[in-house]
A and B are shown apart, each in its own frame.
Chain A
Amino acid sequence: MSKPVTSIKLVLLGEAAVGKSSIVLRFVSDDFSENKEPTIGAAFLTQRVNINDHTVKFEIWDTAGQERFASLAPMYYRNAQAALVVYDVTKPQSFIKARHWVKELHEQASKNIIIALVGNKVDIVDENEEERKVAREEAEKLAEEEGLLFFETSAKTGANINEVFMGIGEKIPLKGPEEEAQGSGLNVTDDQRVNLDSPGNADGPAGACSC
């Protein structure tokens, strides 16, 4: 018997160039690219992880660069079940922006969203502690006040990256097998919902989910 699968929409938030896409690349492909170009091309990436006797399928939405000029659409984080709010531990400005995103998520996203605060690029600090501009204690305090998971990571070395996703996966309320049959992720169909990609007919919703 295969394990039950729970799909969750996870969004990435944070200032440009803090390493959002690099974190995902490390998690999904265990890879790192030194001079990564701003993100182009992928609507979202998926990655499965096993947690106890469940499988959690992360559907990871990238910002597609829309955060660069304060142009991220509310649609992006609507319905997200989990969010990574990423800052760069060497850039204080990026931590201010992270605070902003936590506030925005609490106001606009679904009530039960699981948020992980992620301080990236600790490899730079590990080499030279003087480069650190955001104190670990300060971030821990924010996480405690706002009920966030908190990690310091390096997408470059891979440090703590898997832990972020496992931590989120453990907090996700898992569905039983019978609920799962109701549909996962995007193509949910109840009485009136329609899947435009399927032929559809008057006899009832066609729920062929190909993901």
Chain B
Amino acid sequence: MSEEMEMDTEYDVIVLGTGITECILSGLLSVDGKKVLHIDKQDHYGGESASVTLSQLYAQLKKNPISKEERESRFGKDRDWNVDLIPKFLMANGELTNILVHTDVTRYVEFKQVSGSYVFKQGKIYKVPATEMEAISSPLMGIFEKRRMKKFLEWISSYNEDDAATHQGLDLDKNTMDEVYYKFGLGNSTKEFIGHAMALWTNDDYLQQPARPSFERILLYCQSVARYGKSPYLYPLYGLGELPQGFARLSAIYGGTYMLDTPIKKVLYTDDDAENGKFEGVETKLGTFRAPVVIADPTYFSHKCKSTGQRVIRAICILNHPVPNTGNADSLQIIIPQSQVGRKNDIYIAIVSDAHNVCSKGHYLAIISTIVETEQPHIELEPAFKLLGPIEEKFMGIADLFEPKEDGSKDNVYLSKSYDASSHFESMTDDVKDIYFRVTGHPLVLKKRNDEEAQAQE
């Protein structure tokens, strides 16, 4: 480190951890003109939402890592691998996409469409129909059910809040989703793929709740499919770990200061009172830095977080072939609805490949995840393993999910939630917007996308 490097010690906000939630907030606040200091105890960006090399993956998740020679002969160069620790896709029309466009972080990250979205039914997988045309040709439904599904999708796409005639007698805030299905005469198997593969609910609790959230989720799914065609999902080249790096660069360009590999020695509170004081600053090997506000992931303030009671099991599988029965798709999502395999929560499989620069040529990465329900969680994933064909290598991990105990107004410590089991980033962006509001006192306003008018005319 060079000698005469004097640094500022007073900031508007200190951010701890470089997961995607923290990096987006850091970027947004820097753009707002706040002076941000962003610190990570680890020597790389991303925290839980990093993409790691194969050697890092072996070191983290295997008790007996294989030799470098064996690894390279089986899987090629380490630098070709960028394996996500937490699997997710972006919804093409989702809020993360909006934030990327709003902030111009699209300059730093390239995206590809995910080739397909599949759902499991009675031992087989089927493409999820998301347009009226696809509904007509889908083998998931009989001929009469197809017509009912078409009517349902027409209702979704033509629904206009201000025009009661388009509501077809349904009230999204009073009627339950089950009542909506009943109105269109949809059968159990259709309800299952609408609720789980389109609305992306992980269990059936939504059926007895007001229909609006389900309606919004199905609309998001359909609009996301309509945007690029093949599936509703997008995935960044070089892995999800590019996203926190892109937002960190945004923050740096607007004056944010970055310090990796900098553990927090001590958190400072007003009146030296860790119980009732407000956040005041942090002590690190590079000195003491002060700010009236801190934003952090749960690992920096574990005593201020509580378990959500849920644990997620994730299995990262390396394949040397495409997933059977997917038309050799280079990327896809498979959802195994809970009722199909006698569970309470759905199992998700996210598959990406060398086409996304996340593994060496000829390989595929399949990441399976679900919420743990039994004492033998690895056995819960069996139905998913069976769909993948031969598996070259498997890495398993179980993560507890944490959330903050309080909202931060008392101590100015604003904490993010752990990344959940959902297959996309919508709950993460909800958390970003919520923290942004609590920290700044005003809601996050994203600029209008230039295609909004075009979409409204459809």
Residues of A whose CB lies within 8 Å of any CB of B are: 15-17, 40-44, 63-66, 68-71, 73-76, 78, 91, 93-94, 107-108, 186, 188, 192-203, 205
Q: Are B450 and A199 in contact (CB under 8 A)?
A: yes
A75: nearest chain-B partner, CB-CB? B245
CA distance A63 to B253 in the complex (A): 8
Q: Are B2 and A93 in contact (CB under 8 A)?
A: yes
Q: Are A64 and B252 in contact (CB under 8 A)?
A: yes
Q: Are A192 and B112 in contact (CB under 8 A)?
A: yes
CA distance A64 to B106 in the complex (A): 17
CA distance A207 to B111 in the complex (A): 13
B40: nearest chain-A partner, CB-CB? A71
Chain B interface size band reads 35 or more
Q: Are A192 and B249 in contact (CB under 8 A)?
A: no
In the complex, chain A residues whose CB is within 8 Å of the CB of B429? none
In the complex, chain A residues whose CB is within 8 Å of the CB of B108? 75
Q: Are A73 and B45 in contact (CB under 8 A)?
A: yes
Q: Are A194 and B113 in contact (CB under 8 A)?
A: yes
Q: Are B454 and A192 in contact (CB under 8 A)?
A: no
Of the candidates A16, A44, A107, A202, the one having the most CB atoms from chain B within 10 angstroms of its own CB is A202
B367 located at the interface, meaning its Cβ lies under 8 Å from any Cβ of chain A in the complex: no
Given the known inter-chain contacts A75-B245, A194-B234, please indicate yes or no for A66 contacting B228, CB distance below 8 A: no
A199: nearest chain-B partner, CB-CB? B451
In the complex, chain B residues whose CB is within 8 Å of the CB of A196? 97, 100-101, 106, 111, 234
B242 located at the interface, meaning its Cβ lies under 8 Å from any Cβ of chain A in the complex: yes
In the complex, chain A residues whose CB is within 8 Å of the CB of B242? 75
CA distance A100 to B348 in the complex (A): 42
In the complex, chain B residues whose CB is within 8 Å of the CB of A43? 104, 107, 249, 253
CA distance A43 to B258 in the complex (A): 16
Q: Are B451 and A200 in contact (CB under 8 A)?
A: yes
**Selected contact of A201 from candidates B104, B226, B245, B252, CB within 8 Å:** B226
In the complex, chain A residues whose CB is within 8 Å of the CB of B2? 15-17, 91, 93-94
Q: Are A107 and B79 in contact (CB under 8 A)?
A: yes
Q: Are A65 and B110 in contact (CB under 8 A)?
A: no
Q: How far is the CB of A11 from chain B (nearest CB, A)?
A: 12
CA distance A66 to B251 in the complex (A): 10
B227 located at the interface, meaning its Cβ lies under 8 Å from any Cβ of chain A in the complex: yes
CA distance A194 to B286 in the complex (A): 42
CA distance A68 to B242 in the complex (A): 20
CA distance A190 to B254 in the complex (A): 32
Given the known inter-chain contacts A16-B2, A71-B260, A199-B450, please indicate yes or no for A194 contacting B253, CB distance below 8 A: no
Q: Are A69 and B255 in contact (CB under 8 A)?
A: no
CA distance A197 to B115 in the complex (A): 20
In the complex, chain A residues whose CB is within 8 Å of the CB of B107? 43-44, 186
B28 located at the interface, meaning its Cβ lies under 8 Å from any Cβ of chain A in the complex: no
- 9 A-B pairs with CB atoms under 8 Å apart are A41-B254, A64-B249, A65-B252, A75-B242, A193-B112, A195-B106, A198-B451, A199-B454, A200-B92
CA distance A200 to B108 in the complex (A): 19
Residues of B whose CB lies within 8 Å of any CB of A are: 2, 5, 43, 45, 79, 92, 97, 100-101, 104, 106-113, 115, 225-230, 234, 238, 242, 245-246, 248-249, 252-255, 257-262, 286, 330, 355, 450-451, 454
**Selected contact of B262 from candidates A41, A69, A198, CB within 8 Å:** A69
Q: How far is the CB of A70 from chain B (nearest CB, A)?
A: 6
Beyond the given A69-B260, A194-B92, A195-B106, please list 12 additional residue pairs across the A-B interface where CB-CB is below 8 A.
A44-B107, A63-B252, A70-B43, A73-B248, A73-B249, A75-B108, A75-B238, A75-B242, A75-B245, A194-B228, A196-B97, A196-B106
Q: Are B245 and A202 in contact (CB under 8 A)?
A: no
CA distance A205 to B20 in the complex (A): 27
Q: Are A66 and B113 in contact (CB under 8 A)?
A: no
In the complex, chain B residues whose CB is within 8 Å of the CB of A64? 249, 252-253
CA distance A86 to B298 in the complex (A): 39
In the complex, chain B residues whose CB is within 8 Å of the CB of A75? 108-109, 238, 242, 245-246, 249
Given the known inter-chain contacts A74-B245, A75-B245, A75-B246, please indicate yes or no for A200 contacting B228, CB distance below 8 A: yes
A205: nearest chain-B partner, CB-CB? B228
Given the known inter-chain contacts A16-B2, A16-B5, A194-B234, please indicate yes or no for A66 contacting B286, CB distance below 8 A: no
Q: Are A71 and B101 in contact (CB under 8 A)?
A: no
In the complex, chain B residues whose CB is within 8 Å of the CB of A78? 238
CA distance A35 to B451 in the complex (A): 44
Q: How far is the CB of A205 from chain B (nearest CB, A)?
A: 8
In the complex, chain B residues whose CB is within 8 Å of the CB of A94? 2
A40: nearest chain-B partner, CB-CB? B255
Q: How far is the CB of B218 from chain A (nearest CB, A)?
A: 18
Q: Are B110 and A202 in contact (CB under 8 A)?
A: no
In the complex, chain B residues whose CB is within 8 Å of the CB of A107? 79
CA distance A15 to B1 in the complex (A): 9
B229: nearest chain-A partner, CB-CB? A202
CA distance A193 to B110 in the complex (A): 7
Given the known inter-chain contacts A66-B258, A69-B258, A194-B112, please indicate yes or no for A76 contacting B101, CB distance below 8 A: no
**Selected contact of A40 from candidates B248, B253, B262, CB within 8 Å:** B253
A18: nearest chain-B partner, CB-CB? B2
**Selected contact of B111 from candidates A65, A73, A193, A199, CB within 8 Å:** A193
In the complex, chain A residues whose CB is within 8 Å of the CB of B255? 40-41
CA distance A78 to B241 in the complex (A): 13
**Selected contact of A202 from candidates B104, B228, B253, B286, CB within 8 Å:** B228
CA distance A76 to B246 in the complex (A): 9
Given the known inter-chain contacts A17-B2, A196-B100, please indicate yes or no for A66 contacting B226, CB distance below 8 A: no
Q: How far is the CB of A191 from chain B (nearest CB, A)?
A: 9
**Selected contact of A197 from candidates B101, B113, B259, CB within 8 Å:** B101
Q: How far is the CB of B201 from chain A (nearest CB, A)?
A: 26
**Selected contact of B248 from candidates A66, A68, A202, CB within 8 Å:** A66
CA distance A186 to B246 in the complex (A): 14
A190: nearest chain-B partner, CB-CB? B112
